[in-house]
Amino acid sequence: MTKLTLYFVRHGETQYNIEKRMQGFCDSPLTDKGIQQAKAVGAGLASIDFKAVYASESQRVLDTAKFALGERELSVSTDARLKEMNFGVLESLLEEEIISEHGNILERIFSMSDIDFRVPKGESFTDLLTRTKAAVEEIIAKHKDTGGNILLFSHGVTIGYFIMSVAKLETFPHHDNCCVSVVSYENGKFTVEHTADPSFRDKGREMLQF
Protein backbone atom coordinates (compact mmCIF):
# COMPACT_ATOMS: atom_id res chain seq x y z
CA MET A 1 0.00 0.00 0.00
CA THR A 2 1.17 3.53 -0.82
CA LYS A 3 1.81 5.72 2.23
CA LEU A 4 -1.06 7.98 3.31
CA THR A 5 -0.55 10.97 5.60
CA LEU A 6 -3.58 12.27 7.47
CA TYR A 7 -3.63 15.87 8.72
CA PHE A 8 -6.24 16.35 11.47
CA VAL A 9 -7.21 19.99 12.15
CA ARG A 10 -9.36 21.12 15.05
CA HIS A 11 -11.86 23.88 14.27
CA GLY A 12 -11.22 27.54 15.14
CA GLU A 13 -12.33 29.26 18.33
CA THR A 14 -16.12 29.47 18.77
CA GLN A 15 -18.48 31.56 20.85
CA TYR A 16 -19.13 28.59 23.15
CA ASN A 17 -15.36 28.12 23.59
CA ILE A 18 -15.18 31.67 24.94
CA GLU A 19 -18.21 31.18 27.17
CA LYS A 20 -16.82 27.82 28.32
CA ARG A 21 -19.98 25.95 27.44
CA MET A 22 -20.02 22.23 26.78
CA GLN A 23 -19.93 21.92 23.02
CA GLY A 24 -20.23 18.56 21.36
CA PHE A 25 -23.08 17.93 18.93
CA CYS A 26 -24.45 21.41 19.62
CA ASP A 27 -22.86 24.25 17.69
CA SER A 28 -21.90 27.90 17.90
CA PRO A 29 -20.30 30.23 15.34
CA LEU A 30 -16.60 30.91 14.91
CA THR A 31 -15.40 34.09 16.58
CA ASP A 32 -13.33 36.64 14.66
CA LYS A 33 -10.29 35.04 16.27
CA GLY A 34 -11.51 31.62 15.15
CA ILE A 35 -11.81 32.82 11.56
CA GLN A 36 -8.26 34.20 11.73
CA GLN A 37 -7.02 30.90 13.17
CA ALA A 38 -8.65 29.01 10.30
CA LYS A 39 -7.10 31.30 7.69
CA ALA A 40 -3.74 31.01 9.45
CA VAL A 41 -3.68 27.21 9.58
CA GLY A 42 -4.70 27.18 5.91
CA ALA A 43 -1.75 29.40 5.07
CA GLY A 44 0.54 27.19 7.16
CA LEU A 45 -0.60 24.13 5.19
CA ALA A 46 -0.56 25.87 1.80
CA SER A 47 2.61 24.19 0.56
CA ILE A 48 1.18 20.71 1.07
CA ASP A 49 -0.61 18.99 -1.80
CA PHE A 50 -3.80 17.37 -0.51
CA LYS A 51 -5.53 14.63 -2.45
CA ALA A 52 -8.83 15.02 -0.59
CA VAL A 53 -10.51 16.92 2.23
CA TYR A 54 -12.97 15.55 4.79
CA ALA A 55 -14.88 17.34 7.53
CA SER A 56 -17.35 16.86 10.33
CA GLU A 57 -20.89 17.99 9.54
CA SER A 58 -20.85 20.62 12.31
CA GLN A 59 -21.03 24.17 10.96
CA ARG A 60 -18.05 25.39 13.01
CA VAL A 61 -15.91 22.77 11.30
CA LEU A 62 -17.29 23.45 7.83
CA ASP A 63 -16.62 27.16 8.30
CA THR A 64 -13.09 26.39 9.50
CA ALA A 65 -12.51 24.30 6.37
CA LYS A 66 -13.91 27.08 4.15
CA PHE A 67 -11.63 29.75 5.61
CA ALA A 68 -8.61 27.43 5.73
CA LEU A 69 -8.94 26.30 2.11
CA GLY A 70 -9.55 29.81 0.80
CA GLU A 71 -9.03 29.84 -2.97
CA ARG A 72 -7.75 26.27 -3.17
CA GLU A 73 -9.84 24.20 -5.56
CA LEU A 74 -10.56 21.37 -3.15
CA SER A 75 -14.05 20.04 -2.46
CA VAL A 76 -14.97 19.01 1.08
CA SER A 77 -16.62 15.65 1.79
CA THR A 78 -18.62 15.63 5.02
CA ASP A 79 -18.83 12.69 7.40
CA ALA A 80 -21.03 12.69 10.51
CA ARG A 81 -18.67 10.19 12.13
CA LEU A 82 -16.05 12.94 12.44
CA LYS A 83 -18.32 15.01 14.70
CA GLU A 84 -17.43 15.86 18.29
CA MET A 85 -18.33 13.57 21.17
CA ASN A 86 -22.03 13.81 22.03
CA PHE A 87 -22.34 15.12 25.58
CA GLY A 88 -26.07 14.51 25.77
CA VAL A 89 -27.86 16.42 28.54
CA LEU A 90 -24.71 18.45 29.21
CA GLU A 91 -24.73 20.10 25.79
CA SER A 92 -24.47 23.93 25.83
CA LEU A 93 -24.32 24.10 29.65
CA LEU A 94 -21.77 26.19 31.55
CA GLU A 95 -19.39 24.30 33.84
CA GLU A 96 -21.06 25.71 36.95
CA GLU A 97 -24.45 24.63 35.62
CA ILE A 98 -23.14 21.13 35.02
CA ILE A 99 -21.70 20.91 38.53
CA SER A 100 -24.92 22.27 40.03
CA GLU A 101 -27.15 19.87 38.13
CA HIS A 102 -24.92 16.80 37.72
CA GLY A 103 -22.24 16.93 40.41
CA ASN A 104 -18.81 15.55 39.46
CA ILE A 105 -19.92 14.10 36.12
CA LEU A 106 -17.20 15.98 34.19
CA GLU A 107 -14.51 14.40 36.33
CA ARG A 108 -16.07 11.00 35.75
CA ILE A 109 -16.08 11.54 31.98
CA PHE A 110 -12.60 12.99 31.52
CA SER A 111 -10.75 10.89 34.08
CA MET A 112 -11.39 8.05 31.59
CA SER A 113 -11.56 5.60 34.47
CA ASP A 114 -14.55 4.10 32.66
CA ILE A 115 -14.42 4.67 28.90
CA ASP A 116 -17.82 2.98 28.53
CA PHE A 117 -19.54 5.57 30.75
CA ARG A 118 -21.97 7.81 28.89
CA VAL A 119 -24.09 10.69 30.11
CA PRO A 120 -27.83 10.48 29.46
CA LYS A 121 -28.53 10.87 25.72
CA GLY A 122 -24.76 11.07 25.07
CA GLU A 123 -21.82 8.93 23.99
CA SER A 124 -19.01 7.10 25.75
CA PHE A 125 -15.37 7.29 24.68
CA THR A 126 -15.79 3.75 23.34
CA ASP A 127 -18.69 4.92 21.15
CA LEU A 128 -16.66 7.89 19.94
CA LEU A 129 -13.58 5.86 19.02
CA THR A 130 -15.65 3.23 17.23
CA ARG A 131 -17.19 5.74 14.83
CA THR A 132 -14.00 7.79 14.40
CA LYS A 133 -11.97 4.71 13.52
CA ALA A 134 -14.65 3.53 11.11
CA ALA A 135 -14.53 6.88 9.29
CA VAL A 136 -10.72 6.93 9.15
CA GLU A 137 -10.51 3.33 7.97
CA GLU A 138 -13.00 4.07 5.20
CA ILE A 139 -10.97 7.09 4.11
CA ILE A 140 -7.80 5.00 4.10
CA ALA A 141 -9.47 2.30 2.01
CA LYS A 142 -10.72 4.89 -0.47
CA HIS A 143 -7.24 6.34 -1.01
CA LYS A 144 -5.06 3.25 -0.54
CA ASP A 145 -4.05 3.11 -4.19
CA THR A 146 -3.21 6.78 -4.65
CA GLY A 147 -1.51 7.54 -1.33
CA GLY A 148 -0.58 11.12 -0.56
CA ASN A 149 -1.89 13.66 1.93
CA ILE A 150 -5.45 13.80 3.26
CA LEU A 151 -6.85 16.77 5.20
CA LEU A 152 -9.45 16.16 7.91
CA PHE A 153 -11.26 18.92 9.85
CA SER A 154 -12.77 17.76 13.11
CA HIS A 155 -12.96 18.44 16.87
CA GLY A 156 -10.69 18.48 19.91
CA VAL A 157 -11.99 15.44 21.80
CA THR A 158 -12.59 13.42 18.64
CA ILE A 159 -9.08 14.01 17.31
CA GLY A 160 -7.46 13.78 20.73
CA TYR A 161 -8.94 10.41 21.63
CA PHE A 162 -8.14 8.95 18.22
CA ILE A 163 -4.51 10.09 18.58
CA MET A 164 -4.43 8.80 22.15
CA SER A 165 -5.60 5.40 20.94
CA VAL A 166 -3.28 5.18 17.94
CA ALA A 167 -0.19 6.38 19.83
CA LYS A 168 -1.15 4.45 22.99
CA LEU A 169 -0.72 7.60 25.09
CA GLU A 170 -1.44 7.55 28.81
CA THR A 171 -2.65 11.14 28.91
CA PHE A 172 -5.15 12.90 26.70
CA PRO A 173 -3.47 15.27 24.18
CA HIS A 174 -5.21 18.65 24.38
CA HIS A 175 -5.77 20.27 20.98
CA ASP A 176 -5.93 24.04 20.93
CA ASN A 177 -8.04 25.62 18.19
CA CYS A 178 -6.60 24.94 14.72
CA CYS A 179 -3.74 22.81 16.02
CA VAL A 180 -2.75 19.96 13.71
CA SER A 181 -2.05 16.29 14.40
CA VAL A 182 -0.37 14.30 11.63
CA VAL A 183 -0.71 10.53 11.34
CA SER A 184 0.81 8.43 8.58
CA TYR A 185 -0.49 5.02 7.53
CA GLU A 186 1.58 2.45 5.68
CA ASN A 187 1.60 -1.34 5.55
CA GLY A 188 -1.26 -1.55 8.04
CA LYS A 189 0.48 0.59 10.65
CA PHE A 190 -0.27 4.05 12.02
CA THR A 191 2.60 6.37 12.97
CA VAL A 192 1.88 9.63 14.79
CA GLU A 193 4.24 12.29 13.44
CA HIS A 194 2.81 15.42 15.11
CA THR A 195 0.43 15.75 18.06
CA ALA A 196 -1.60 18.94 18.63
CA ASP A 197 1.03 20.95 16.76
CA PRO A 198 0.40 24.74 16.68
CA SER A 199 3.31 25.44 14.32
CA PHE A 200 1.27 25.26 11.10
CA ARG A 201 -1.22 27.81 12.48
CA ASP A 202 1.49 30.03 13.96
CA LYS A 203 3.56 29.96 10.77
CA GLY A 204 0.47 30.90 8.80
CA ARG A 205 -0.31 33.76 11.17
CA GLU A 206 3.14 35.20 10.54
CA MET A 207 2.66 34.81 6.80
CA LEU A 208 -0.67 36.64 6.96
CA GLN A 209 0.61 39.08 9.61
CA PHE A 210 -2.40 38.83 11.92
If we measure between CA atoms, which residue out of 7, 6, 14 comes closest to residue 37?
14
CA angle, 55 then 56 then 60, to 5°: 100
Can you give the pTM of this predicted structure? 0.97
Pairing of strands 50-55, 148-154: parallel
Domain boundaries, the chain: 4-208
The predicted pLDDT at position 209 comes to: 86
Catalytic residue among 57, 71, 84, 123: 84
Q: What is the C-alpha end-to-end distance of the chain, expressed in Å?
A: 41
91 is catalytic: no
Distances (CA, A) of 144 to 11, 129, 131: 26, 21, 20
Length of the chain in terms of residues written: 210
In whole angstroms, give the CA distance from residue 78 to residue 53.
9
In whole angstroms, give the CA distance from residue 10 to residue 37.
10
Name the residue type at position 203: K
Catalytic residue among 11, 143, 155, 175: 11
Residues of the chain below pLDDT 50: none
Strand order in the sheet with 4-10: 76-78, 50-55, 148-154, 4-10, 180-186, 189-197
In whole angstroms, give the CA distance from residue 65 to residue 42.
8
Domain at 4-208, CATH class: alpha beta
143 is catalytic: no
The predicted pLDDT at position 1 comes to: 65
In whole angstroms, give the CA distance from residue 184 to residue 193.
7
